[in-house]
Every structure is written in C-alpha cells, then in structure tokens.
Structure 1
Amino acid sequence: MSKWKDHFGFPETRGKYGFLLVLIVDAFGAGLFLPLSVLYFQVTANLPLPAIGLTLTIATVCTLPLSLITGNLVDRFGARHITAISQIIQAFGFLGYLFVHTLSSLFGTAFLVTMGSRVFFAASASLIVDIASPHERDRWFGLVGAIRNIGLGIGGFLAGFVMATNNPDMYHLLIGCSALCYLVAGCLLLRLPEPEQRHHMQVAKEPVGTIWQNHLFLVFLLCNVTFPLCALMLTIALPVYVTEAVHAPGWIPGSALMLNSLLIIGGQTLVVRILEPYRRTRSIGAAALTWGVSCSFFAIALLISRTILIPYLFLAVAIHTLASLLYGPAVSALIADLAPASQRGRYLATYEFVWGIASALAPALFSLLYVVTPTLPWILLVILISASGISMLWLERRLPARAVRANKPSNNS
C-alpha cells in the first residue's frame, strides 16, 4: 500500500476500482434527489405539502421489514447481486417520479424508491465486507462514508441551482439524471466479478432464525438504538431548534449541515486510522460521550450570549460530527466480525433495520418533546446516550475478541 494511503487512513483499492466507481455513481444519484425529495412533488405535481410528507412517511414505514428480508437474500445469493438489483429498482422508481400527478401514483413510486433504498443499505454493508480485506473493514466503511458525503455534497450543490430556477423542466431533468445514475451503477455492478472475499468464502448455511437466538447480539442492538437517533437528530431537529427556539440567523442550519458534510469528507478516513489500535467498543463509547457533550451544548444554547452564539453553534455541530466519525465505521466493522460468515448479511441487515426504526421514530420523537419544551429532545438524548455508552462498556468483555479489535491485539488500549 502507498504510504500516503496508509497515512490518511485509506484502504488498499487496487483491483477494486470498479466497485469504487459503483459507490461513487450511486452516491451522486442520491445527492441529486435528496434535497428535492419533498419540494419536487410540490413544484412538478402541485400536490399539497402535508399530503406529500404523510405519503412519503407511510411508504417509508411500509418498507421497514425489507431490511430483515434482505439479510436472508444476501446470505443466499450474495451482496453484489442484491445491491445491484436494489439500484435498478430505485432507477425505475425515479423514472416513475417523472409521471407522478396524484397521491396514489406518488405512493406507488415512492414505495418502489424506498424499497430499493432499504434493500441497498441492508445489502451494501455486506458488499463492503466482501470487497475489503478482513483487517481493513473499518477503513473501507470509513471511505464509503466519505464517498457518500461527497456525492451528497455535489448533488446538493447542483440541486440548489435547480431550486433557484423553480422550473419544473429542470426538476424533471435532475430526477432523470438521478435515475440514470442508479441504472448505470446497478448494471455496472452486475457486470463486475464476485468480490475476492466472497469468492473464497466457503461456509455452511445455518437456519434463518439462528440470529434471534444470539441474545448478546440482541442486547448489543438494543444498546445501539440511541446512536442513530443522535445522528439523525442533527438534520431533523437542528433547523427548527436553531431558528425558532435559539433565534439564530436563518443561514445557520444550512451552513452547519455543510460543515458536517465537509468534516466527514475530510476527516472520516483519518479518524479511522487513528482509532485502529484501539478497541471498537471504546470508539463507540467515546462516540456516546461526544454525542452527550454535543447534545448538552445544544440544550444550553438558549442561555448563550448573542455575541458568541454563532461560533458556539458551529462548535456544537463539529462535536456532533466527531461522534459520527467515531461511531459509524467502528460499529459496522464490529458487527461484520461478530457475525458468523454464513449469517453476515442477516446481522448487518438487522442493524440496518435498527436504523430504519430510528429514522421512523426521530421526527415524531422530536416533535412531541419539542412542543413540551424546546430543550427536552436534547436532554432526553443525553440521558439515553449515556446509558448506551455505559452498556457498551459492559458488553465489551462479553463480545468476542475478533469483533472488538480492528487489528491484532495491541497494548495501546
């Protein structure tokens, strides 16, 4: 491996450029659409905003069980095929968006897109494991996270120009480009050879329900529910809380979220490299502590002087982002090493199901607590994340050594 790659925490990518291209094209396609996910239907189909939000939410909730189903399919047919199929499903869904004029057609196409997205995230984690060498899984998860944020950033930048025109034809063009990205990524992935790790993996198949007998893993999942809630709260709660409760300038949320993306792009792989000698459970525990600090910062933002409020909020966002950098690659790699090889797809997909539950709960949880008092969502998160962090340290001694450490045991921790 090149010295510069190792220094900045990049994995060895030789012979895997085709898979990298697939991930980049997919991330760009997602970035084109996400900023327009609600506004598109309001501009092009003239549908009422509350009805759009409710329809998209119902479609999302209906697809939650697909994560669990996907895990079984991945273990049986391989992550490459299932990931490619998910991208093609999303491509057809986005093409359907070009013809949406009613709520019923919106639900049908949104269900297709959300189904593809749900299957993608449940399968792509296993694909990353198949691509990566066993000792580089953390680095690959970190690199993929950075790539996704680059795609979202570029796509969001282009989407901003389209939103400025308010021209339905431009909206249609952007959605068409997004569909093309998914179609290209899926077809390219189908043409690529089976990843090296998958090709050499010979394992005995185990019964589907075995995962539910692993009580240690179920406790681990329960302890991890709070982490995605914290991660999601930045995009869900920050815009409303900062502008309405804290009375900060309206440009702060967008700039803060841009800072979040830039920090992930520039720092994710480097953070993974720094953490490699340490236990993954310690990284997750550090993420819990860091999220607790950032949520506390947001909770007391109402008391901060106006003269330092803006830098204070950016500091809170930076701390919040650091927690995501500590948490994401470590937990995915830990689950991949915790799972038996024959059930790795099921284990990773079940964790994705937890993320799906959190994404469904987060908006409602924030709304209900916010109306009681604006700081209550942050206070509750501090309590929950503290309990999760302590639980993770309790689990550390009970988890297999192969899952706890990214590399061979060292004396650094």
Structure 2
Amino acid sequence: MVGGALVDSFGNGLFMAASTLYFVGVVKFPAAHVAAVLSIAAVFGLASPLPLGHVADRYGAVRIYLVLMCIRSAGYAAYAFVHEFSGYAVLTCLLCAADRACSPLLQVIVSNVAGDEERTRALASIRAVRNAGLTAGLLAAGVALGLDVPFAFQAVFLVNAASFLVIAGMARWAVRVARVAAGPAPVADRAAVQAPYRNVRFLVFTAANSVLSLYDSLLLVLLPVWIVQRTGLPHAWLSVLLAVNTVLTILLQAYVHRFATTVRGSLRLLRVTAVALCLSCGLFALAEEVPRWVALGPAAAAVVALTLGENLHSVASWELSFALAPEAARARYLATFSMGMTGQRIIGPALLVGVLLPLHLWAWGVVAALFAAATAVAVWSGRPPALPAPRSTTGTADAAARQE
C-alpha cells in the first residue's frame, strides 16, 4: 500500500506540473476559463465522497476503490486527446470527484490491511512517501516538459494514467495477501448505524478538524503572498521554506505516529498541535516586525513550528476519525470527515488572504485564536462516547489502557 502511494504521488506530481501549462499554453484555452473549471470541479470533489462512501459501505470499499482507479486511469489518459473546452470541463469535474472519493476509501483499506496495531504507522508512512513521490514527479515532469513539444505533455498524461492501473494492482494484491474481505458489512449492521450527517458529535469534530487544517492553506496560499507583501524577503526563499516543510514532513511521519496509537494519546497530541500552531503564528508576526535581514530566522522557525503542528495533527486526526466511525459505516463516516478538508481548501484561501491578511499583525492573533478554539472543540468532540474519562486509581487506569 505504501508502494502504491508512492506511485500515486509520482503521477500526481507529473500531472500537476503539466496540466495547466498544457491546456493554457498549448491547447490555448483561456486561463480564466480553466481557473473557473478548477473551482467548479472542487465543488464536485466536495460533494462526491459521501454518496460514494455510501456505495462503498453497500458493496465493499475495495471493490469501489478499484473501480474508481480504473475510471481515473481512463480519464487521465483521455486528457491527452482533449481539444475541446467542453470535454476538458466535463473530464475535470468527473476526475476531481473520483480523486476526492478515493482518499477515505484508501484509509478504510489501509486500516483493514494493516490492522489496529499498525494502522496509524501505515498511514504515516504513506504520507511520508507521498511527499517524496510528489517531489520526484514534479522534477521528472520538468525534464519532460523542457522538450516543449505537445507529445511530451501527452506522454506525461499517459504515464500518470498508467500509474492508476499499477496502484489498483498493488492494492488488490495487498488486500488478497492480508485476506481482507472485499465485500460489505452485513445489511443488518449497516441499517443499525446512525448516518454520519445525523451524528452531531461527529459533525462537530469534522468542522473543528477543518479549522485546524487551515495550516494547509496557510502554507500553500498565504505564505507566498505574505513573503511578498509583508517581509520583503527575496522570492527565492519561498522555495527554501517549502522544502523545509517537505523534508521535515518526511522525517516526522516516521516518528510522530507512535504517539497516536490510542484515542487518549491522539487527544493529547491535539493539544500539542495547538501549541505548535499558535507558536508558528507568533513567529510569523515577529518576522513582520524585525528588519528584513533577520526576518528569515523567525520565518523559518515559524515554518518548522507549523510543520510540526501539521504532522502531529494528521496522525491524531486519522486515529480519532477512525475511532468515531462505526465499522459498518466506516466508508460513509470517513468520507464525511474528508469533506472537511476539501471545504477548507475551498474556503481557506479566501479567508486567509482576502479577509485576514489585510489585518496585518492582528491576522496572526485571529488565526492563533481559531487554532486554539478548534482544538478545544476537537478534544471535546473527538472522545468516543464509549471511552471513559481518566481516573486516578491504578486499577481503573489499567482497565482504561486495556480498553484503548
């Protein structure tokens, strides 16, 4: 499964580097129209996980995941032959919906393959290799696109398409070796489970988690604008700061997962996450106030703190979302949970850049307050109802540890 994630992220890196450049620069679609399609496609990506999660609970996560992989392979291959804008628009919306639906299904499959003891470690390993694969894909695409001929772009699309068939084969092999059932849970079990959109506690946790995930938009969207408008740092330092985030993520995911193997451990990790994220906000504010020649120090420290919070939050949220999701409806619940991250990617850039950035130093105080409030809500709502509160006696502590 980790190998499949590496292949997947390599193909994503290829596509990310080539797609917009090809359709705007080679096929000559208007850039504004391409941007509009990507925004509309994001809405399809927001809406698709829940209905497809319901289908996966009905027919089996493995089966639906493999079908989606085949659809993605055919769709990304079709990009090489699209010359009409209408075809590009339909294909992009379809593929964005399929892409976003695969993420929660992959979490279900990895959890079943790895088991409870190795689930968080496996997901952390997947996250680490995704960063490495994405970087390799971007570099490989740069070499191919340096030829500056349409065939090079089309070859990149076809290689990406082939990668999904490879991933499907690797996932099918892993499931077979691990002897994971491809079919759904019994109908009686599925019928007895409350739907995720009626589970208020789970929805509150999902919403709080999406606010905590604002670090994603902060890093990828706000940081470049902030460097230009607020610090006066040379633009080249943006690449260095993003590289710090990527390298640290690869290193941290191999270590931090061990602190999120239980529900209580994950809840403690959320509190540490809040400290790291709020510290990063303070360092970003400091970097705005110091002279330009020393601003790089606090800016780099802010990215380090932000990356630490990002990685602590990711492993804690995996464990807690899985614990809150009933087994018979796990695909539906994790699909609903993933919608929070997708929603953050739609709302986050506008909130951070359009609303908060003009507040100057006050912006970092507001962001820190959002992180702190979201953590408090997530810690409250992230405790499964069946998990007892901690007690002081040794005997009850031992019993709670056994339950975890």
TM-score range (shorter-chain normalised) is 0.7 to 0.9
SS of the residue corresponding to residue 38 of structure 1 reads helix
* Structure 1 counterpart of 2:244, one-letter code: L
Q: Does 1:27 align with 2:13?
A: no
Are the counterparts in 2 of residues 290 and 319 from structure 1 also a CA contact under 8 Å? yes
**Residue in 1 that maps onto 2:124:** 142
Number of aligned residues: 392
Q: 1:265 Cα deviation (Å)? A: 1.1
Aligned-partner Cα distance in 2 for 1:105–1:376: 45
Which of these residues, 62, 78, 82, is aligned with residue 60 of structure 2? 78
- Between 1:101-110 and 1:326-335, the stretch displaced more is 101-110
Q: 1:126 Cα deviation (Å)? A: 0.9
Q: Does 1:272 align with 2:272?
A: no
Are the counterparts in 1 of residues 112 and 180 from structure 2 also a CA contact under 8 Å? yes
Change (3 A) 1:185 1:393: closer
**Residue in 2 that maps onto 1:46:** 28
Aligned-partner Cα distance in 1 for 2:192–2:363: 41
Are the counterparts in 2 of residues 241 and 374 from structure 1 also a CA contact under 8 Å? no
| Counterparts of residues 8-27 of structure 1 (less than 5 Å) | 19-27=1-9
Change (3 A) 1:41 1:397: closer
Structure 1 residues without counterparts, runs of 5 or longer: 1-18
Aligned-partner Cα distance in 2 for 1:79–1:229: 29
Which of these residues, 97, 101, 109, is aligned with residue 119 of structure 1? 101
Are the counterparts in 1 of residues 46 and 100 from structure 2 also a CA contact under 8 Å? yes
Aligned-partner Cα distance in 2 for 1:254–1:402: 46
Q: 1:155 Cα deviation (Å)? A: 0.8
Q: 1:123 Cα deviation (Å)? A: 1.2
Aligned-partner Cα distance in 1 for 2:143–2:361: 34
Q: 1:391 Cα deviation (Å)? A: 2.0
Q: Does 1:304 align with 2:290?
A: yes
Q: 1:320 Cα deviation (Å)? A: 0.8
Q: Does 1:331 align with 2:313?
A: no
| Counterparts of residues 353-372 of structure 1 (less than 5 Å) | 353-369=339-355, 372=358
Q: 1:199 Cα deviation (Å)? A: 6.6
Change (3 A) 1:175 1:375: farther
| Counterparts of residues 363-402 of structure 1 (less than 5 Å) | 363-369=349-355, 372-374=358-360, 378-395=364-381, 399-401=385-387
Q: 1:328 Cα deviation (Å)? A: 0.8
**RMSD of the TM alignment (CA)?**
2.9
Change (3 A) 1:142 1:302: same
Are the counterparts in 1 of residues 121 and 257 from structure 2 also a CA contact under 8 Å? yes
Q: 1:114 Cα deviation (Å)? A: 0.6
**TM-score scaled by structure 1?**
0.85
Q: Does 1:249 align with 2:234?
A: yes
Q: 1:224 Cα deviation (Å)? A: 1.5
Aligned-partner Cα distance in 2 for 1:211–1:96: 35
Aligned-partner Cα distance in 2 for 1:205–1:161: 50
Are the counterparts in 2 of residues 335 and 403 from structure 1 also a CA contact under 8 Å? no
Aligned-partner Cα distance in 2 for 1:26–1:119: 15
Which of these residues, 155, 158, 163, is aligned with residue 140 of structure 2? 158
* Structure 2 counterpart of 1:325, one-letter code: N
Q: 1:409 Cα deviation (Å)? A: 5.1
Q: 1:244 Cα deviation (Å)? A: 3.1
SS of the residue corresponding to residue 312 of structure 1 reads helix
Q: 1:96 Cα deviation (Å)? A: 2.0
**Residue in 2 that maps onto 1:289:** 275
Change (3 A) 1:377 1:187: farther
Which of these residues, 322, 343, 351, is aligned with residue 308 of structure 2? 322
Which protein has the bigger helix share?
Answer: 2
Q: Does 1:213 align with 2:213?
A: no
Change (3 A) 1:276 1:121: closer
Q: 1:78 Cα deviation (Å)? A: 2.0
Q: Deviations over 1:315-364 (max 9, x none)?
A: 21111111111011221121112222101111111110111111111222
SS of the residue corresponding to residue 2 of structure 2 reads helix
Change (3 A) 1:217 1:109: same
* Structure 1 counterpart of 2:241, one-letter code: A
Aligned-partner Cα distance in 2 for 1:164–1:312: 36
Which of these residues, 88, 108, 115, is aligned with residue 133 of structure 1? 115
Aligned-partner Cα distance in 1 for 2:372–2:154: 45
**TM-score scaled by structure 2?**
0.87
Q: Deviations over 1:369-392 (max 9, x none)?
A: 256345565443212111011223
